[in-house]
Structure 1
Amino acid sequence: MTSFRGLLKYFTVAACVLCSVKTVSAASDSGFKNRTTVLLAGDSIMEQATEPSVDGFISLLAGRYSRSADMIVRALSGYNTRWYLKYAMPGIEEEITRGDYNPALITLWLGANDAVRCTSPFHSTSKNLIKIVEKFQAVAPDSKMMMVTPTHVGDAARKKFAAERTDSKKGLLDRSNAMMKPYARACVEAAKEAGVSVLDLYSHFDAMTVTARDKLLVDGVHFNAAGHLVVDEKLRATILKEFPEVNDLLDTYQFPIVSRWMKDDPYVPETTK
């Protein structure tokens, strides 16, 4: 049986589509356009965002823009910036060079795993992010780029997780909100040095009360449905502000709406002889 939340999500997305029909149809009257693609590079926070069961923000984006764009997800759970640069980027670069897709926008959301027990110095995180941006710019010079900072950590949930472990790491705190702060700052500085836009989600959530922000996480790290909704709203607002041309592409259907063909190519019964 379809859940109430599932129905609510469906009708919310449908309402967004219907509200945008006037704009979309006006932009689509010239006919077919090339399919827009958005590349989303990141770690498990982004990987879990593909899950419709938790209303993941990528699933929301894919539903909202199903008529206009494809979301290309290269999100790898557990990867830090060093591993992503060393092991993921060569394959992604090859995909783009080969022409598999030509992203209008690339979002880069890494750094949370660099902060796990501070195993990667935050100055290295900044350097790695800049190198990743440079590699993207080399193979996709016309793509817009946006970094997203590591987000906040729910300290109580991570302490509980550490206490309940049964391995040699029992009791060891893997990350904390305080640990994450310099890595978020490193991301902001990297974006500034690389000359790309940045969405500072850490500062956004950190400004909330501890109770309010922790309610948006399931395990102190990953978002629940309410958290994904906030991220979705912040991403769309940033795209609209920083990349209006990309926003226009997302709001433009790949193929005209059916009313055009109802007007221009109506069914005409064949005359019988």
Structure 2
Amino acid sequence: MEKSWPKVILFGDSLTQYGYSHDGCWAAFVADHLQRKCDVINRGFSGYNTRWCKIILPKLVTKADVTDTKMVTIFLGANDSVDSVLCPNQHVPLNEFKKNMIDMVQYLMDIGVNKEKIVIISPPTCDEQKWQSDCEEKGRVFGKFNGPTKDYAKVCIEVGEEIGTQTVDLYTAMSCQKDWEDMLNDGLHFSPYGSQFLFEQLKPVLDKLTSNMKLQLPYWADIDNENPHKLLNKY
């Protein structure tokens, strides 16, 4: 029987989708940290909110997919929290947002993911001035404000505490840094500095969930080049 390779699944919006990009590279930091231990699977969808993600999650992550899964992140809220009048196509009311988050966590638990392996990451702060300039330059509607985002971030942490998942309160962690604006390249998405900052916030949880993992396949110097099957066939 083929051995299942351990995996980490990252689920979210553009902040996850761009996780392997030059700037928004936090997913790449996760993959590098877990190299030869886990496959890191990026399931990020730019512009998506929890209403849509709740629909697609069962199509993307099935019971078969979570075999030997070490961690699943849910990183949403940046789009749900936009202004309901200015950005009605993406906005999701706060009470529905909370229910959607609970339902997604419950779904993952129902298919076999232990709640301790689920990590809810709150949306980050937004540099309103920079994001407004970027929106105007690219012909997009500006409707992103820190006040509502803070409320959605708070709900993320509440859901985690109520259910018993892991949480990363990124909004609060960023807000405490005097140079937090430098963590965003366009006011909304991460700069390399912001990506590194998120990874550092996530790393203690990541290490807790993967600290007992060994490298997959034997160390090269332990393999007998004249008889490689002796050791490699044990895998």
Q: Does the alignment reach a TM-score above 0.5?
A: yes
Residue 189 of structure 1 aligns with which residue? 158
Residue 106 of structure 1 aligns with which residue? 72
Contact 1:43 1:79 in 2 (8 A): yes
In our comparison, the structure showing a higher alpha carbon Rg is: 1
1:159 to 1:136, Cα distance in 2 relative to 1, 3 A: same
Partner amino acid, structure 2, of 1:215: D
Residue 221 of structure 2 aligns with which residue? 259
Contact 2:7 2:39 in 1 (8 A): yes
Question: Unaligned stretches of 5+ in structure 2?
Answer: 85-90, 228-235
User: What does 1:1-273 align with in structure 2 at a 5 Å threshold?
Assistant: 34-51=4-21, 53-54=22-23, 56-86=25-55, 88-93=56-61, 96-99=62-65, 102-118=68-84, 119-142=91-114, 144-164=117-137, 166=139, 169=141, 173-209=142-178, 212-240=179-207, 244-249=208-213, 252-261=214-223, 265=224, 267=226
Contact 1:104 1:142 in 2 (8 A): no
- Secondary structure in 2 matching 1:221: coil
Partner amino acid, structure 2, of 1:122: L
Pairwise CA distance, 1:178: 1.8
1:180 to 1:207, Cα distance in 2 relative to 1, 3 A: same
Aligned CA RMSD, in angstroms, stands at 2.3
- Secondary structure in 2 matching 1:198: strand
- Secondary structure in 1 matching 2:218: coil
TM-score normalized by the length of structure 2: 0.84
Partner amino acid, structure 2, of 1:37: K
TM-score normalized by the length of structure 1: 0.73
Q: Percent identity?
A: 26
Contact 1:162 1:174 in 2 (8 A): no
Contact 2:24 2:190 in 1 (8 A): no
Equivalenced residue count is: 219
- Deviant stretches of 4+, over 3 Å: 98-102, 161-167
Contact 1:125 1:187 in 2 (8 A): no
Question: Unaligned stretches of 5+ in structure 1?
Answer: 1-32, 269-273
